[in-house]
Amino acid sequence: MKNRLIAVLWLFLFGMLCTDVVRADSEASAKKRPNILFCIADDASFPHMGAYGCSWVKTPGFDRVAREGLLFNNAYTPNAKCAPSRACILTGRNSWQLKEAGNHMAFFPPEFKTYVESLADNGYAVGKTAKGWAPGVAVDANGKRRDLAGPAFNQKKTKPPASGISPIDYAANFELFLKQSAAEKPWCFWYGGFEPHRGYEYGAGIKKAGKKITDIDRVPAYWPDNETIRTDMLDYAYEIEYFDQHLVRMLNLLEQRGELDNTLVVVTADNGMPFPRVKGQEYERSNHLPLAIMWKQGIPTGNRVIEDYVSFIDFAPTFLEAAGLTTEAAGMQPITGRSLSDIFQSEKSGMVNPERDHVLIGKERHDIGRPHDQGYPIRGIVKQGMLYLKNDEPGRWPAGNPETGYLNCDGSPTKSVILQLRRDGKQADFWEWAFGRRPAEELYAISEDPECMRNLAALPAHQGVKNSLKKQLQDELTAQKDPRVLGNGSIFEKYEYSDPRTRHFYERFMQGEKIKAGWVNETDFESQPLD
């Protein structure tokens, strides 16, 4: 009897020991999975970061990530507007593969699970601060609100240094998230700063950062070069720097906690700068975005500059692979993007994978203001220094109708200057470049003409290149089942705006209803149509 009790006791103790070992192994395995810190500025163009050689924007945080990791020279969003760009990031699919979520101010379809939701289902602590996927409405099949980028941590506030800058203390909220997360769990955090989205405090870059208008090395050829535009650009730079200051604090915090080495840090923006001819369009400065990535334990050779063409649809599969998940295990719809792990594991700079020689871009309906809530559909391909664009409705106004304020272009001092020049009968070219109608096809040698000033599409010498890019674009969109290519592009205009206050804006406004569009100035509206 005594021997039996001893044996039972021994078996009990052995079982407990084994349980502890299994638990310890499980926790160790969880800790091996990387943390993920995804940092996304709101409206910042390539190459406006210090690491790219931009002297009038100071970004020590971004520069550190680039220096200790990878700096990408050819990173593109498929769609240069907030909500569709972020939808591509979260799902790994192009915007034309996302139904309603391919539009701006949309209802996010329940069928598309995000990588953040998948990581949460598979042992990750998740959270975000400030702007996640927006603007729009995201609910599940039962009508319950979804946190596409994670639950919000916005409690911590600070006094913003200028009007227009958010009072949310991004870095403090990140610290709060870390304190509330279980120590044994890996985590995924989305830092979605509101900067440099408009509006700006005019002159803040000069008055509060000590910048000078002579700091600007070049004003793009499609804007007038004057004090107002330069001041506007410096205010934009000031807000990028504010975003970066919080990034610096986050990196320092992770270093203090001993978590930086096994944290996959991604720093980018959702679309180009909020200026005419850039944000909401599909030109080089619209879709081409800054990108730096570091992960000391997962990228053996850092301090590399990468020339491969990468798309925002590549983020989701990268994060899933790093977390040890397949798309199927993650419960997500098929992913079009491909993991960046081949670049991570390489020791090469320059072009790592020759197959990554192009990206696809495009748009459907962005902001309100066209008759019948119409969009401005574009499809395009960027390949080896060339940009080809197909404008499917060239008869429409690309930035929105003039009589309703060109609503796909944020109000700004730069916009106001360009509009007034046309009204005064002066320098109308700037208005044409920013707001005028466009041909059905555009082709630019962006390696030589990054501002896309010279359309080569009609020139005989460039027909071979144009036709080759056009065919490749058509073939890939067909394989991706793009409704626009398959003859059902009008479906994107049947999807309702998520905010009922903005539906049928054009008709209501033209009938005399007083509707405010808060992101433009009252002077942006033309007194009558310009047709």
Q: Give yes or no: residues 351 and 388 share one domain.
A: no
Contact 315, 337 (CB under 8 A): yes
- Averaged pLDDT for residues 111-134: 98
Do 101 and 239 belong together in one domain?
A: yes
What mean pLDDT value characterizes the chain? Answer: 94
Q: Is the pLDDT of residue 5 over 70?
A: no
Structure tokens at 35: 């943390």
The beta strand positions in 319-417, using DSSP E, are 358-363, 378-383, 386-391
The number of distinct structural domains making up the chain is: 2
Task: Mark whether 299 and 379 lie in a shared domain.
Answer: no
Burial 59-72 (b: 16+ CB within 10 A, else e): bbbbbbbbebbbbb
Q: Which residues constitute the domain of residue 460?
A: 362-485
Asked whether the beta carbons of 339 and 318 are under 8 A apart, the reply is yes
Q: Average of pLDDT values for 64-79?
A: 98
28 has pLDDT over 60 = no
pLDDT reading at 6 higher than 90 = no
- Choosing from 328, 357, 386, the residue where a domain stops is 357
Residue 13 has pLDDT above 60, yes or no: no
Beta bridge partners of 37: 189, 265
Structure-model confidence comparison of residues 4 and 385, the more confident one: 385
In a domain, 524, yes or no: no
* β-bridge mates for residue 114, sequence order: none
pLDDT in tens, 152-209: 999 999 999 999 999 999 999 999 999 999 988 999 999 999 999 999 999 999 999 9
Among 310, 388, 298, 294, CA closest to 353: 310
State the pLDDT confidence band at 518, using cuts at 50, 70 and 90. Answer: confident
Cα gap 444→414, rounded to integer Å: 24
The pLDDT, as a whole number, for residue 531 is 86
* Residue 341 belongs to domain with CATH number: 3.40.720.10
What's the mean pLDDT in 385-407?
97
In a shared domain, residues 193 and 311: yes
C-alpha–C-alpha distance, residues 273 and 277, integer Å: 9
Domain identity same for 215 and 334: yes
- For the cut 80, the answer to whether the pLDDT of residue 380 exceeds it is yes
pLDDT at 30: 44
Q: Which two tokens stand for residue 68?
A: 């200790």
User: Of 357, 387, 417, which marks where a domain is finished?
Assistant: 357
What pLDDT does 16 receive? Answer: 42
- Note the pLDDT of residue 407: 96
Whether residue 38 is predicted with pLDDT greater than 90 in this model: the reply is yes
Higher pLDDT, 10 or 281: 281
Predicted pLDDT at 515: 86
Residues 6+ apart with CB under 8 A from 36: 119, 124, 186, 187, 188, 189, 263, 264, 266, 319, 322, 323
Say how far apart CA 29 and CA 250 lie, in whole Å. 25
Q: Is pLDDT at 1 greater than 80 in this prediction?
A: no
- Taking each helix axis from N to C terminus, what angle separates 227-257 and 60-68, rounded to the nearest 10 degrees? 60
Mind listing the pLDDT tens digit for each residue in 478-510? 999 999 999 999 999 999 999 998 899 999 999
Residue whose C-alpha is closest to residue 243's, from 177, 174, 279, 192: 192
Digit-coded pLDDT (tens) for 291-316: 999 999 999 999 999 999 999 999 99
Assigned domain for 42 exists: yes
Assess whether 219 and 306 both reside in one domain.
yes
Residues 392 and 459 in one domain: yes
8-state DSSP, 165: S
Residue 517 confidence class, pLDDT cut points 50, 70, 90: confident
- On whether residue 217 sits in a domain, the answer given is yes
CB 38 within 8 A of CB 170: no
Taking the C-alpha atoms of residue 127 and residue 121, their distance in angstroms, rounded to an integer, is 13
What are the tokens at 384? 């080896």
Q: Give CA–CA dist 346/224, Å, rounded.
A: 44
Query: Residue 218 in 3-state DSSP?
Result: coil
| Nearest to 178, CA basis, from 242, 252, 114, 241 | 252
The phi, psi pair for 300, rounded to 5°, reads: -55, -35
pLDDT at site 11: 40
Do residues 336 and 414 share a domain? no
The two counts, helices (H) then strands (E), for the chain are 16, 14
Same domain, 293 and 386: no
Render pLDDT for 75-118 as a digit per residue (tens, 0 to 9). Answer: 999 999 999 999 999 999 999 999 999 999 999 999 999 999 99
Q: Model-level pTM?
A: 0.94
Mean pLDDT over residues 1-6, rounded?
A: 43
**Stronger pLDDT, 370 or 518, i.e. the higher one:** 370
Q: Distance (Å, rounded) from C-alpha 159 to C-alpha 152?
A: 20
Q: Are 289 and 272 in contact (CB under 8 A)?
A: yes
Q: Please give the Cα distance from 203 to 241 (Å, whole number).
A: 15
pLDDT for residue 12 = 42
**Residue pair 89/82 in contact by the 8 Å Cβ criterion:** no
In a domain, 104, yes or no: yes
According to DSSP, residue 125 is labeled E
Judge whether 404 lies within some domain.
Answer: yes
